[in-house]
Each structure stands twice: as structure tokens, then as C-alpha cells.
Structure 1
Amino acid sequence: MSTFHLKVLTTERSFYDDDVDRIVVRTTQGDVGILPGHVPYIAALGIGGLTIIRDGQEHVAAIAGGFVDCSKEGTVVLARTCEWANEIDINRAREAAERAKARLHQQESEHEHDIAQLKLKKAINRMRIAEEK
């Protein structure tokens, strides 16, 4: 089976750098599957999962924000946050979700409400990814 090179970078680390069979990544428009030979493509990342399939095995990570760039040289994912399912502290994610829910019920500015909604979405995504492992 053919492969392509995938590099996943965050502001904190080089998350992944190896050849893969395929990936599925959440963009702002929905999930996108990328196979070897994918046409040139750039998209903004949403909040969701990044599934990396290598040698027939799936590896799942929680991802939020950034970009995916496919070219003939390979695929680069630049993510604000990305963490493997087994790295997620589920209790911390639950606490973050509860804090965000509490902030949503407070009378705050529209901007603060939007931030609380974003934090809640990220926490729920982290819990979902961790529980699927």
C-alpha cells in the first residue's frame, strides 16, 4: 500500500512526523479524509478528531484549531492543540466543561459568552476522544 508523509506540529511540540496510509481530520467544514496522492488542499481545522492510520492501525488524537496543508511533498497539520487520546486527563476535561457551562449561565458580554462556548466545545471533544480510546 502506498503512503504519504504526515507532519503534525503544535506551538509546543512536533506531535507526529512519519509516513502514514491515510488520515481523517476535522476541518471547519467537516471531516476530510486524506489519502496518498491527494490534490493540493488547504483548510482551516475545527474542533474534533485527527485519526492517523498507519500499517492498518488507527491512532486518534483530539485537535482544535489551525490548518491542514496537502501538497505533493506530503501533508502538514499546524494545530493550536493536539493530544493523543491516552494523554487526555478526563477528569480535567470534565472540570473544564463544568467551568465553561457555569460561565455560559452568567450574564457576561457576547465575547465572553463566545469564549465560554469555545471552551465547552473543546472540553467535550477531549472527553469524547478520551472515552473512545
Structure 2
Amino acid sequence: MSTVHTDIVTPAGKVYEGDVHMVCVRATSGEMGVLPHHIPIVAPLEIALVHLKHEDENHIDYAAVHGGFIQVSRDKITILSEAAEMKDQIDVKRAEKARDDAQAQLATLHATSEGYAEALRKLKRSELRLSTAAIDGSVPEA
């Protein structure tokens, strides 16, 4: 199997750097898997989980990526995001508090109210962080 160099970058710096066999992301147009030597592409990303699959098929790294873009060239994948965290970097207590705060804020707003969309985005981000942190890391057998 071959690999492709992959970076996840935020304004605060690099969150991930390594060589992987496959990257799975959720673009705004749908799920996307990228293997080495993929055609060049730039695509906007949803707030979603990113899978970084290594040559050893039992090793997958997980990242919570809060939107942004994926840029693919023949020999490199770069994910640029406003915010991203690797599974083992997620502060669960902080994410739970953010979820609870967003739910409380949404309960006081009407869907057409100013601030509703931002509160919904905060809820989605906190739920992504919590679901990413909860992944047990085992790879199901085929």
C-alpha cells in the first residue's frame, strides 16, 4: 500500500501531520474518501469526523474538524479548518458544558431569531467533539 502526506491545519497551528493510506471526510457535497494519487481537488467541508486510515488497517486516527476545506494534490492532502481536534485532545467536560450552554441558548430562541444559527452551530460542534471522544478506537473485523 502507498501513503499520502496529510496535514490538518488551523489558525492556531498544525493539529495533525503524517502519512496515511486514506482520508475520509464529509464534504458539503457528501462523503469523500481520498487515496494516494487522487486527482487534485478543493472541496468545502462540513462540521464532521475525519478518519485518517494508516497502512496498518487496524490503525485509524480520528479528528473532529469544524468545517473548512480539503485540498488534495497528487502527493499531499491538506485540511484547513477554523478549528480541529484530534480524538485524544478533546476536553470532554468542556465539550459537555458547550453542548449544555448551546441547548439552553436554543431553548430561548426562535428559529428565525438572531443568534439561532450560531447557537445551532455551537451545538453541532460540541456534539461532534463528544462523539469523536467516545470512539473506542477498535476497528471492526471484516
Map of 1:127 onto structure 2:
130
Runs of 4+ residues over 6 Å off in structure 1:
none
Task: Compute the TM-score of the two structures, normalised by the length of structure 2.
Answer: 0.86
Alpha-carbon offset, residue 32 of structure 1: 1.1
Where 2:15 maps in the other structure, the secondary structure is strand
Which residue identity lines up with residue 121 of structure 1 in the other structure? K
Q: Which runs of 5+ in 1 are unaligned?
A: none
Q: Is residue 114 of structure 1 aligned with residue 117 of structure 2? A: yes
What displacement does 1:75 show?
A: 1.1
TM-score of the pair, normalised by structure 1:
0.92
How far does the alpha carbon of each residue in 1:58-86 deviate from its partner, in whole angstroms, 9 at most, with x for none?
01111111100111231111111111111
SS at match of 2:36: coil
2:84 to 61, 82, 85: 82
What RMSD, in angstroms, separates the aligned Cα atoms of the two structures? 1.5
Name the structure 1 match of 2:11: 11
> Do residues 96 (structure 1) and 98 (structure 2) align?
yes
**Who is 1:27 aligned against?**
27
Which residue of 2 is the match for residue 66 of structure 1? 68
Q: Which has the higher strand share?
A: 1
The structure richer in helix per residue is 1
- Identity among equivalent positions (%) equals 32
Between 104-113 and 74-83, the greater mean CA deviation after superposition: 104-113
SS of structure 2 residue aligned to 1:132: coil
SS state of the match for residue 6, structure 1?
strand
